[in-house]
Amino acid sequence: MKPAPPPIPERRAAPIDWPALVAAARAAARRAYAPYSHYAVGAALLAEDGAVFSGCNVENASYGLTNCAERTALFKAVSEGRRRFRALAIAGGTPKAPAVPCGACRQALAEFCPPDLPVAVAPLRRGAPVVRALAEYLPHSFALRT
Ligand code: THU
């Protein structure tokens, strides 16, 4: 009888450390450059390899040039060679109205993140995050498939 093949090692992803990811988003929000809106937002994006990329909103006197916290984090990650992500935390707003990603950021995230990416929105200072899938924020997202 043939010997049993060696067991396939389990490659279970480490659980997502939400408190750490929310803390990273809140720390990033403290670096927000928001002299026009006075609305600070932070984001922290967990890449598949475990690296965390944070970002804040960066406003501009020409208002439309403002970059949201989420896109800052995403573009930092992509420009550092990461294109696969496991989770996103956003910190901003109040417990009654935490910051949720704007439409532009939803589309930018959909370019790189799976529809089931868990997105946590947490109030700027304290309070529990609410986790929803990216697809709940952007159902039927536009994509070019070749
Ligand atoms: N903002 C973000 O950075 N992320 C969001 O999820 C919502 C809005 C920024 C853009 C602008 O600097 C300020 O918040 C007010 O809109």
Tens-place pLDDT, residues 48-73: 999 999 999 999 999 999 999 999 99
Percent over 90 (pLDDT), the chain: 88
Residues, the chain, total?
A: 146
- Please check whether residue 121 is in contact with residue 96, taking contact to mean a CB–CB distance below 8 angstroms: no
Q: How confident is the model at residue 9 (pLDDT cuts 50, 70, 90)?
A: confident
**For residue 95, what are the contacts with CB-CB under 8 A and spacing of at least 6?**
123, 126, 127
Q: Which of 10, 70, 111, 136 is catalytic?
A: 70
What is the value of pTM for the model shown? 0.92
Where in the chain are the domains?
18-137
Q: Which CATH architecture has domain 18-137?
A: 3-Layer(aba) Sandwich (3.40)
More confidently predicted of 4 and 15? 15
Indicate whether residue 120 lines ligand 1 (CB < 6 A).
no
CA of 107 to the centre of ligand 1 (A): 15
Residue closest by Cα to atom 13 of ligand 1: 39
